[in-house]
Amino acid sequence: MLKVLVVLGTRPEAIKMAPLVKELEKYPRQIRCKVAVTAQHREMLDQVLNLFNIVPDYDLNIMRHGQDLFTITGRVLAGMREILETDRPGLVLVHGDTTTTFVAALAAFYMQIPVGHVEAGLRTGHKYSPFPEELNRHLTGVLADRHFAPTGTALDNLLKEGVPRENILVTGNTVIDALQATVKTDFVFADPVLRRIDYDRRRVLLVTTHRRENLGAPLRSVYLAFKEIVQAYDDVEIVFPVHKNPEVRRRVEEVLAGAPRVHLLEPLDYEPFVNVMQRSYLVLTDSGGLQEEAPALGKPVLVLRDTTERPEAVAAGTVLVVGTATETVASEIRRLLDDAGHYRRMAGAVNPYGDGRAAKRIAGAILYWFGFADRLPEEYR
Ligand code: UD1
Ligand code: UDP
């Protein structure tokens, strides 16, 4: 019996690990799967755990309002020590690029417990962009023993860094597994604001922002572009579930409070969120996960950052990296609102990120690597 400990801290880790937790639970004779949450996020994490019916076996409850990287790092490291000493898992699984991810992997390394890294190998090549995620992911890769690369590009990045091919499986991204299970054409919104919008007659711009390197002036600059757009186009509605980071909220209030047809909402549950995305015209974001979800739904994305670690949908033409300057953001939005040909070219649904079977492949590889299966699953292409 292999004891697997899945470690999560934030909303996106929970969304993307939920399909894997469910899959690992299908092998009770080979795998005992437990879930540890650091709760680097609290409400935004709990929303997802509730939706997917995941009850954590351990909960470090580390979140503090306005926390910084030192606090998160110290609290996760100390907390993971206790969990690992009590639980003694045979494999720790972490996801992506958060500080929870990196520090949980570090704790497992200190205890000489093997680490599997889900969503491994994404790179921008810029140390401070995204910050601190680029190095969190890189360092986790150095600590990890097994790497689940979502795409061929991520595989190539790992090979270039010297990771042995036999320790990597190309799986697709579990975000597509979660998305396919959640988007429904007949979804009815409980939120009165979302229910009232006429998605056929209005053009909905779905917005999220939270990157640390965008806090302050860059956020102000993109919000000014949004304000200009709603003033110029009266068929545009902005749906903006505002991240709980107090720095984000301060800027949103400062620039967008009271702007016409700008709906500032609390973070939405994953279900209404992806269903509003499905009904949107365009997505404006600095998020990582949205760059994977929106192309799968055929929604153009303007990325409010200078770099991306997800080049596949940029190459496919669905995603454009536009930075944070007011003029550029506003003019790229205008182009998508005014030029039907340009919109159509960007809105072709592409799905370079997965086929909905990533969790199955990851579980299959774990079974193989730990001696419960005689071959590796076919890779995602
Ligand atoms: C974190 C991750 C980032 C990831 C993002 C997903 C790090 C360093 N950052 O950034 O990689 O893309 O999550 O959203 O790992 N807050 C709440 N309730 C919540 C969540 C957050 O109140 O449920 C507030 C708290 O005041 C908290 C602040 O937001 O201190 C910032 O949270 P933090 O996890 O430090 O940073 P994020 O920007 O959320
Ligand atoms: N999301 C959500 N509710 C929201 C905003 C986003 O459920 O109000 C989901 C979204 O579908 C995606 C994930 O949260 O799967 C992205 O998280 P976030 O942008 O916070 O982090 P990142 O992907 O940048 O690490």
Give the tens place of pLDDT for each residue, 291-343.
999 999 999 999 999 999 999 999 999 999 999 999 999 999 999 999 999 99
Phi, psi of 250 (to 5 degrees): -60, -45
**Ligand nearest to the Cα of 248, by number:** 1
What is the C-alpha to C-alpha distance for residues 356 and 363, in angstroms, rounded to an integer? 13
Q: Examine the pLDDT at 255 and tell me if it is beyond 90.
A: yes
What is the Å distance from ligand 1's center to 208 Cα?
A: 13
Query: Which tens digits make up the pLDDT trace of 161-213?
Result: 999 999 999 999 999 999 999 999 899 999 999 999 999 999 999 999 999 99
Rounded percentage of the chain residues whose pLDDT exceeds 70: 100
Residue of the CA atom closest to atom 16 of ligand 1:
244
243 among known catalytic residues: yes
pLDDT score of 185: 87
pLDDT score of 131: 97
- Binding pocket residue ranges, ligand 1, CB within 6 Å: 10-12, 40-45, 63-67, 69, 72, 97-99, 132-133, 210, 244-246
What is the C-alpha to C-alpha distance for residues 89 and 80, in angstroms, rounded to an integer? 12
Q: Examine the pLDDT at 350 and tell me if it is beyond 90.
A: no
Q: Which of 133-142, 195-204, 342-351 has the lowest average pLDDT?
A: 342-351
Q: Examine the pLDDT at 221 and tell me if it is beyond 90.
A: yes
What is the C-alpha to C-alpha distance for residues 362 and 350, in angstroms, rounded to an integer? 23
177 among known catalytic residues: no
What is the Å distance from ligand 1's center to 235 Cα?
A: 33
**Ligand nearest to the Cα of 309, by number:** 2
CB 332, CB 320: distance < 8 Å: yes
* pLDDT confidence tier of residue 373, bands split at 50, 70 and 90: very high
Average predicted confidence (pLDDT) for the chain: 97
Mean pLDDT along residues 235-249: 98
pLDDT score of 40: 98
What is the C-alpha to C-alpha distance for residues 24 and 30, in angstroms, rounded to an integer? 9
Rounded percentage of the chain residues whose pLDDT exceeds 90: 99
Mean pLDDT along residues 23-47: 98
- For the beta carbon of residue 242, count every other beta carbon within 10 angstroms: 19
pLDDT score of 326: 98
DSSP strand pairing (58-59 vs 31-37): parallel
Name residue, tokens 């399909």.
19
pLDDT score of 197: 97
Q: Is 176 helix (H, G, I), strand (E, B) or coil?
A: helix
Residue of the CA atom closest to atom 9 of ligand 2:
270
* pLDDT confidence tier of residue 154, bands split at 50, 70 and 90: very high
Mean pLDDT along residues 348-359: 93
Name, in order, each residue with C-beta under 8 angstroms of 134's C-beta and a sequence gap of 6 or more.
97, 123, 124, 125, 126, 127, 128, 309
Q: Measured from the CB, is residue 288 less than 6 Å from ligand 2?
A: yes
Phi, psi of 369 (to 5 degrees): -65, -25
Q: Is 273 helix (H, G, I), strand (E, B) or coil?
A: helix
From the number of C-beta atoms within 10 Å of its C-beta (0-12, 13-18, 19+), residue 375 rates as: exposed
- Global pTM reads 0.98
Sign, CA torsion 349/334/284/257: negative
Peptide bond into 132 cis (omega under 30): yes
Mean pLDDT along residues 128-134: 97
pLDDT score of 144: 98
Q: Examine the pLDDT at 348 and tell me if it is beyond 90.
A: no
Q: Examine the pLDDT at 143 and tell me if it is beyond 90.
A: yes
What is the C-alpha to C-alpha distance for residues 340 and 353, in angstroms, rounded to an integer? 26
119 among known catalytic residues: yes
Q: Is 120 helix (H, G, I), strand (E, B) or coil?
A: coil
* pLDDT confidence tier of residue 17, bands split at 50, 70 and 90: very high
Question: Which ligand 1 atom is the nearest neighbour of the CA of 66?
Answer: 30
Catalytic residue among 32, 126, 203, 212: 212
